[in-house]
Structure 1
Amino acid sequence: MSVSFLVEAHDMPNDNVAMAAEVEEVMTPDPVKIEPLELHDMINGLASWYGADFHGRRTASGRRYNMNELTAAHKSLPFGTLIRVVNEKTGHAVVVEVTDRGPFIKRRVIDLSKAAAQKIGVSVSPVDLEGLTPEQVSRFYASNDSAVIGITSDMSIVVFPNNTLTDFREADSYSKAVASLKAGEVVVVKTSEKGKPSYAIARIAQPDELAYVFQ
């Protein structure tokens, strides 16, 4: 859409006629084009959890297991993958980071940390899963320079236009970022030079301008 204005010289003194000028055409910017974020299709099944007996032990990724962080074990997805887990019975959701391998019991598809299981009320329960691998994060940013991937406090995965976020601050890990969230903030999922996810926290400046929400 374009708008042009013309300053008319009617009834103006002759000396001021020269001051009348046509205002240059103003072009409104085109809407920001954002490529959709494709989430990894996953097999749904039963979720279980593991806790104090494994707390402090090394996981398959080399990290120490902390039952108070939002992590999970999965049989095959790359470490660093983010999985949105929804309790089929309650609809409660949590986003966890894959740091370990398992579970190795029939029909179980994911083993949650104690904190993640408590967040959605899981013991051994049916869940729906969606995954966001490090490769998918890298592909998204390769085709989008005007948007970022975010995770909201209600555990939705959202794509935000850059101009809707402000006050960025770095976070050491995904779990620490979630734990530090304040009202009106989101966890920003970024990608490093090595292709591994990194995280920040940002404030939502224009909450009505969300582009895509995956729920």
Structure 2
Amino acid sequence: METEEIVPRLPVIGEAAPEFDALTTHGRLKLSDLRGKWVILFSHPADFTPVCTTEFMAFAGIADELAKLNVQLVGLSIDSVHSHLAWVRSIKEKMGVEIPFPVIADLDMKVAKSYGMIHPGQSNTATIRTVFFIDDKGIMRAMLYYPMSNGRSMPEILRLTKALQTSDEHHIATPANWQPGDKVLVPAPTTPEGIEKRLKEGYECKDWYLCFKKL
């Protein structure tokens, strides 16, 4: 019997994130239940594995700061809820770290497939390390993909969350390596008249299209 080929179907930035209704370590959860909050949905290859364990402890370490930013963390892997619960308990008992966020049990791979978390070049039965940033209106805002062999950077996840929220609040863009408190970018003008006006508006301009300001 031939096995079905898995072709990743990726979500699209700027469109609604795929809805899910899943069993988690905190009970059933729908993405729509979290409307009004930002959501960071992330997948890991498997419970009781070295890199994933370090990542779960690291995500737990930034959970409080994310909560202050109105962000709900949600984990996922293609494991049972019993496996998740046992692993979370093990992390608390052996490493002294409590995992405060729900973890989706995705044995039928419904959520994983709808979010393009399974890449056959890595595995047909385990998710790669994805991170999806979903805003408070349920719109996909950013996506990060990592291979199974390498853990993620929590400072970058925090930085990108703050950058997205700052862009929304102030209608600006952020430059490379931006950190909160750094200067931001003013959107470039789109007309000749706009160019002339921009150069007289008092911003720190390197050229008409590259202008910085302090918030």
Q: TM-score, normalised by structure 1?
A: 0.29
Structure with higher helix content:
2
Structure with higher strand content:
1
State the structure with more CA Rg: 1
Higher relative contact order (CA 8 A, sep 6+): 2
